[in-house]
């Protein structure tokens, strides 16, 4: 049995634990955090290569076989999510070590524990351990959100913590109900039990499924549960906000995994339980998120609402239920995660040159590096709005082409195109305010740190890489979605757990 599958969990676990025990040795702590984070990148690529053979790899912890033992599952979907996280986290930690990690205590340990929770959520094959990894990443995110203190961050964190604590309680209720009826927590075994449930058990199972959907919708920023996100993301420090760009995707991944496997097409009376709820709410999330971006008064707030737009777009594509739409959604997930993270870093670079105006969309002093930052902002705006020739255009084109003909095509096309136009208007307004409507004076304290700039541009270049390697990545995403629709792939997990 190979142990590669568990390394994305063990690396941040051991790194975070070591960072907690070390004394105040800033350079050593930074080195450990950066090296452990960067190590996840080649590891994710290696796991993607392994998963590309189409086989499901099951890692049984302690040798205890499913459905009683705790297992990790590596398929194409999990490997793709690990890559998205590794690229984003690498840029965020490189940005943070240029000084943002000094704003509070234990930044790097918390950063590693956040990665532990995220990677664990993507790999676990056990519903209760999905809850455990959710709690690990949430506890770390509570502290990271308040990193640097300040009244705005404390208010945003309080709102964020209360909502997620309520979500965690509902998560336990939903998992406990499912366990009480099915007698298992292994998602594959639970899928079999749900499909064989008696008519008297179906209503309770459906209620538990809807409770879990409510929890995952909160994590994924689905209407009407997204109102915590704009304030929290806008208040967070730049590297934390960039890392948080993957947080909504954890909720979206959970919806795709649980409602594709446990409540999927073969779940009998409970087949496709989430689809009727996701479709209208996701479309409404896209529209309201776009309007929120247009009305935002700060650059960070506008970017936070654009994260809501991307989450709604992904959920709408997942609600279509076809492998083609879900494959296009996974490609769009890579684009939206990396571009959103890069824009949060870029917004901080701009804010540092505007003094007390910071990211507020009002007239401020002239920037010290208007051409460089303006070009980067223009690049990011084109990518996030979905204009050619960058990855946003090809991602949205793949989504539009994947919509099956019928009643869903018209609302999806209409909402997606209108939201894209609104986002373009909002970004144009922000760009003109930040780079054209400026005074003549440049602040003497304005700075452009080379390390921060490198991390930002490296992550922003992910949009170009998604164009250059667009077809192989899109093929991989389509294969990932097709794998999820293969009913025979996950059944052997109950008979054996091998490498």
Find the mean pLDDT for residues 308-323. Answer: 91
Confidence category of residue 60, pLDDT binned at 50, 70, 90 = confident
Cα(23)–Cα(16) distance, integer angstroms = 13
11 domain residue, yes or no: no
Query: In the prediction, which pLDDT does 121 show?
Result: 94
- Tokens 């995220």 — which residue? 118
Q: Which two tokens stand for residue 340?
A: 């959103």
CA distances from 23 to 16, 29, 107, 395, 436 (A): 13, 9, 14, 46, 47
Find the mean pLDDT for residues 272-277. Answer: 82
Confidence category of residue 443, pLDDT binned at 50, 70, 90 = low
Per the structure, how many domains does the chain have?
Answer: 1
Cα(497)–Cα(72) distance, integer angstroms = 9
Query: In the prediction, which pLDDT does 497 show?
Result: 42
Cα(340)–Cα(489) distance, integer angstroms = 33
Helix, strand, coil share of the chain (percent; to 5): 75, 5, 20
71 domain residue, yes or no: no
Find the mean pLDDT for residues 49-64. Answer: 85
Residues paired with 57 in a beta bridge: 74
Find the mean pLDDT for residues 169-175. Answer: 93
Residues paired with 60 in a beta bridge: 71
Query: In the prediction, which pLDDT does 492 show?
Result: 66
Q: Cis omega before residue 224 (within 30°)? A: yes
pLDDT at 167 over 50: yes
Confidence category of residue 235, pLDDT binned at 50, 70, 90 = confident
185 domain residue, yes or no: no
Find the mean pLDDT for residues 33-58. Answer: 93
pLDDT at 1 over 50: no
| Residue, of 154 and 425, whose pLDDT is higher | 425
239 domain residue, yes or no: no
363 domain residue, yes or no: yes
Query: In the prediction, which pLDDT does 136 show?
Result: 94
pLDDT at 83 over 90: yes
83 domain residue, yes or no: no
Query: In the prediction, which pLDDT does 322 show?
Result: 87
CA distances from 452 to 95, 330, 369, 397, 455 (A): 5, 28, 14, 32, 5
Taking CB atoms within 8 Å and a gap of at least 24, the contacts of 36-39 are 36/11, 36/12, 36/112, 37/12, 37/86, 37/89, 37/90, 37/93, 37/111, 37/112, 37/115, 38/90, 38/93, 39/11
Query: In the prediction, which pLDDT does 440 show?
Result: 66
Which of 60-69, 284-293, 376-385 has the least mean pLDDT? Answer: 60-69
347 domain residue, yes or no: yes
Cα(8)–Cα(73) distance, integer angstroms = 12
The pLDDT mean for the chain works out to: 88
pLDDT at 124 over 70: yes
With CA atoms as reference, report the closest residue to 223 among 321, 313, 334: 313
Query: In the prediction, which pLDDT does 423 show?
Result: 92
Three-class SS state of 442: strand
- Which residues lie below 8 Å from residue 77, measured CB to CB, with a gap of 6+? 253, 256, 257, 330, 480, 481, 483, 484
Cα(109)–Cα(377) distance, integer angstroms = 31
Q: Cis omega before residue 67 (within 30°)? A: yes
Cα(464)–Cα(486) distance, integer angstroms = 32
Angle, vertex CA 344, rays to CA 346 and CA 39, nearest 5: 95
Cα(139)–Cα(317) distance, integer angstroms = 30
- Tokens 């740190």 — which residue? 449
Three-class SS state of 365: strand
Find the mean pLDDT for residues 12-24. Answer: 90
Find the mean pLDDT for residues 59-67. Answer: 77
Query: In the prediction, which pLDDT does 194 show?
Result: 87
Three-class SS state of 468: helix
Q: Which two tokens stand for residue 453?
A: 């700039």
Domain hosting 445: range is: 275-468
Percent of the chain with pLDDT over 90: 54
| Residue, of 124 and 67, whose pLDDT is higher | 124
Phi and psi, residue 438, nearest 5°:
-125, 165
Confidence category of residue 114, pLDDT binned at 50, 70, 90 = very high
Query: In the prediction, which pLDDT does 499 show?
Result: 38
Query: In the prediction, which pLDDT does 498 show?
Result: 39
Query: In the prediction, which pLDDT does 496 show?
Result: 46
CA pseudo-torsion sign 366, 369, 372, 377: negative
201 domain residue, yes or no: no
Confidence category of residue 134, pLDDT binned at 50, 70, 90 = very high
């Amino acid at each position: 049995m190979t142990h590669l599958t568990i390394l994305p969990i063990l690396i941040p676990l051991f790194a975070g634990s070591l960072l907690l025990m070390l004394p105040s040795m800033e350079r050593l702590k930074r080195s450990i955090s950066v090296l452990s984070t960067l190590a996840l990148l080649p590891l994710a690529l290696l796991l993607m290569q392994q998963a590309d053979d189409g086989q499901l790899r099951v890692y049984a912890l302690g040798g205890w076989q499913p459905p009683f033992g705790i297992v990790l599952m590596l398929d194409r979907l999990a490997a793709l999510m690990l890559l998205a996280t590794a690229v984003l986290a690498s840029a965020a930690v490189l940005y943070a070590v240029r000084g943002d990690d000094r704003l509070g205590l234990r930044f790097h340990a918390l950063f590693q524990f956040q990665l532990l929770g995220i990677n664990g959520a993507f790999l676990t094959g056990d519903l209760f351990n999905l809850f455990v990894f959710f709690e690990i990443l949430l506890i770390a995110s509570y502290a990271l959100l308040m990193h640097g203190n300040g009244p705005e961050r404390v208010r945003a964190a309080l709102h964020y913590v209360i909502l997620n604590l309520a979500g965690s309680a509902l998560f336990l209720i939903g998992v406990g109900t499912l366990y009480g009826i099915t007698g298992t927590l292994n998602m594959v075994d639970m899928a079999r039990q749900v499909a064989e449930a008696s008519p008297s058990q179906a209503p309770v199972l459906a209620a538990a499924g809807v409770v879990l959907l409510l929890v995952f919708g909160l994590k994924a920023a689905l209407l009407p549960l997204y109102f915590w996100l704009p304030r929290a993301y806008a208040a967070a420090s730049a590297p934390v906000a960039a890392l948080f760009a993957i947080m909504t995707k954890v909720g979206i991944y959970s919806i795709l995994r649980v409602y594709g496997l446990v409540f999927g097409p073969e779940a009998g009376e409970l087949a496709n339980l989430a689809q009727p709820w996701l479709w209208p709410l996701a479309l409404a999330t896209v529209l309201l998120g776009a309007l929120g971006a247009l009305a935002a008064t700060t650059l960070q707030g506008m970017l936070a609402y654009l994260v809501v737009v991307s989450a709604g777009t992904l959920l709408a594509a997942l609600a279509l239920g076809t492998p083609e739409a879900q494959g296009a959604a996974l490609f769009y997930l890579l684009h939206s995660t990396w571009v959103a993270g890069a824009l949060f870093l870029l917004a901080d670079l701009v804010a540092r040159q505007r003094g007390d105006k910071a990211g507020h969309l009002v007239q401020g002093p002239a920037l010290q590096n208007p051409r460089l930052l303006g070009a980067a902002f223009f690049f990011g705006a084109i990518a996030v709005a979905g204009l050619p020739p960058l990855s946003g255009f090809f991602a949205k084109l793949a989504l539009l082409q994947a919509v099956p003909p019928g009643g869903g095509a018209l609302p999806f096309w209409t909402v997606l195109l209108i939201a894209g136009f609104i986002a373009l208007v909002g970004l144009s307004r922000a760009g003109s305010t930040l780079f054209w409507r400026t005074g003549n004076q440049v602040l003497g304290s304005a700075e452009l740190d080379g390390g921060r700039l490198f991390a930002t541009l490296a992550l922003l270049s992910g949009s170009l890489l998604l164009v250059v390697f667009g077809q192989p990545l899109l093929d991989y995403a389509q294969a990932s979605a097709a794998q999820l629709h293969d009913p025979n792939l996950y059944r052997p997990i109950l008979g054996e757990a091998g490498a």
